[in-house]
Amino acid sequence: MKKKVAIIGGGIVGSSAAYFLNCLPNNDKIDVTLFDDGQGQATMAAAGIISPWLSKRRNKKWYQLAKDGAKLIAKIAVDTNMNSETYANNGTIITRKNADDLTNLFELAKKRKLEAPQMGSIEILTKEEITKKIPIINKPLYDGLFISGGARIEGGFFCRHLLNIAQKNNLKILKGKTTFQDDHNLEYKHQIYYFDKIIVATGAWAKQTLAPLGIKCKIRAQKGQLIEVKVPSFKNDQKMPVMMPESEFDLIPLGQGKLIIGATHDNEQQFDLNIEKSVTNHLITTAHHFVTGISTNDVIMERVGTRAYTNDYAPFFGTIPGHDSILVGSGLGSSGLTTGPLVGKFLAELVCNEKLNFAHYRKPIGQYIS
Ligand SMILES: Cc1cc2nc3c(=O)[nH]c(=O)nc-3n(C[C@H](O)[C@H](O)[C@H](O)COP(=O)(O)OP(=O)(O)OC[C@H]3O[C@@H](n4cnc5c(N)ncnc54)[C@H](O)[C@@H]3O)c2cc1C
């Protein structure tokens, strides 16, 4: 008998879990069904910056997850022959207002690189050198640090790419919402489906997904919005790094004069998916600090998604205590495109081996689930 595995949620965690379940040596003994509603998905809305190494966060387990997550993404891109619209390794530039802060950042980067060689080359750039590397940003305010290993993924394309691969093997996808009936049964479009294992990868909706089983999940939702502009008459098509200015929104060049600006972090609005024009205006005003000649008329896309946060901002994943058939991965916050593929991989591995120990990467799951 084949093992029946369900994945609820087709964002980066669910799609990565599906991909890795298709890579397992015994994949021919596993049937995987992925359910995805898609509404408000954080993955599709995300800016896609993969550059965790200089984060100020003190949580060492989170850092291990993010550092190894960034490395895994680069490996997946090579292994699966991803195109440059899906994964682009053009580097990141992080600016600092204060020269001493920049020197400190440089020292930290050199230290971190000892354990993360994928950071690549690290160099301090003057404002003029920044403009040469990112000509679309024609008036950078401060000097910055360039890290060649920084990358960007387009979350929606990344998931589609992985799901396409898995669908050729052991994956079936059902679009729409599913609901728990009990620890092994899901209801989908008025039918009940039995599964040996169920992976909950519903991001900010994990609380609602698990509620019918009486399981409490300590996460909160946060709205994020960003915009994409087409900078008028910008023709240069060179590959450009992502720019992360201090205390400002990030600027992500996409080629063909397109630039993403964002993203916001709105705790009040939670699951609200409305695009707010006042936010769009604010993002454009901020971008004026760095780019001349753009206005709200140049906005070609606005995206909104819902992030999931835990109280200590750390993701959680694993088998739910007292519910051996159910695994969960959520709470990925603002760096979930970076950590999500590794969380998905670990969940896929746990489906076949419950004894795996990930203490290096996570706190006990009981801190987030009861
Ligand atoms: C605006 C924005 C910018 C961001 N920028 C970055 C960035 O630059 N770098 C970075 O690393 N991270 C970034 N993030 C964070 C990252 O996008 C998220 O942490 C990550 O995508 C979460 O992935 P997930 O798979 O857990 O959840 P999601 O991507 O939200 O996927 C969950 C899926 O489950 C579905 N679902 C929910 N309930 C059900 C149900 N009952 N049945 C079926 N399906 C269901 C949802 O519809 C959704 O499709 C950003 C997020 C936002 C919103």
CATH number reported for the structural domain that contains residue 204 in this entry: 3.50.50.60
The domain of 328 spans 3-44+155-219+312-367
Q: Torsion-angle region of residue 299: left (phi > 0), alpha (psi -120 to 50) or beta?
A: beta
Going by alpha carbons, the residue nearest to atom 26 of ligand 1 is 203
Q: And the tokens for 191? A: 């039918």
Examine the fold and report which residue of 274, 307, 340 is the final residue of a domain before the chain moves on: 307
Distance 194 CA to ligand 1 centre (A): 26
Interval 299-357: pLDDT, tens: 999 999 999 999 999 999 999 999 999 999 999 999 999 999 999 999 999 999 888 98
Minimum-distance ligand 1 atom for the alpha carbon of 36: 44
Write down the ipTM of this complex. 0.99
The answer to whether position 82 is within a domain reads no
Task: From residue 120, give the alpha-carbon distance in Å to each of 11, 131, 217.
Answer: 28, 21, 38
Containing 279, the helix (H) or strand (E) segment is: helix 277-287
Pair (199, 275) in one structural domain: no
Residue 124, domain member (yes or no): yes
Looking at 307, 324, 347, which one is the last position of a domain?
307
Q: Spell out which residues line ligand 1, taking CB within 6 angstroms.
A: 8-14, 35-43, 45-49, 155, 177-178, 201-205, 209, 224, 226, 262-263, 305, 307, 330, 332-338, 340
**Count: domains in the chain:** 2
In a domain, 145, yes or no: yes
Task: Look at residue 150 and give its three-state secondary structure.
Answer: coil
Would you tell me how many other CB atoms lie within 10 Å of the CB of residue 117?
9
Residue 296: pLDDT band (50, 70, 90) is: very high
Q: Are residues 111 and 249 in the same domain?
A: yes
Q: How far apart are CA 277 and CA 217, in angstroms?
A: 33
How far, in Å, CA of 200 to CA of 329, rounded? 6
Residue 94, strand partner residues: 145, 244
If asked whether residues 235 and 283 sit together in one domain, one would say yes
* Residue 252 near residue 152, CB atoms below 8 Å: yes
Q: Is residue 113 in a domain?
A: yes
Residue 29: count other Cβ atoms within 10 Å of its Cβ: 12
What is the atom index within ligand 1 of the atom nearest the CA of 179? 41
- Please tell me the distance between residue 278's alpha carbon and the centre of ligand 1 in angstroms: 23
Give the burial string for 51-84 (b: 16+ CB within 10 Å, else e).
bbbbeeeeeeebbbbbbbbbbbbbebbeebebee
* 228 and 132 in a common domain: yes
- What is d(CA 200, CA 35) in angstroms, rounded to the nearest whole number? 10
What does the pLDDT look like over 209-268, one tens digit per residue? 999 999 999 999 999 999 999 998 888 889 999 999 998 899 999 989 999 999 999 999
Nearest ligand 1 atom to alpha carbon 14: 25
Q: Domain of 293: which CATH number?
A: 3.30.9.10
Phi (first) and psi of residue 74, to 5 degrees: -60, -40
Q: Work out which ligand 1 atom sits closest to the CA atom of 336.
A: 19
Q: Average pLDDT of 117-144?
A: 94
Using the predicted structure, report yes or no on whether residue 25 has a pLDDT greater than 90: no
Q: In this structure, are 124 and 228 located in the same domain?
A: yes
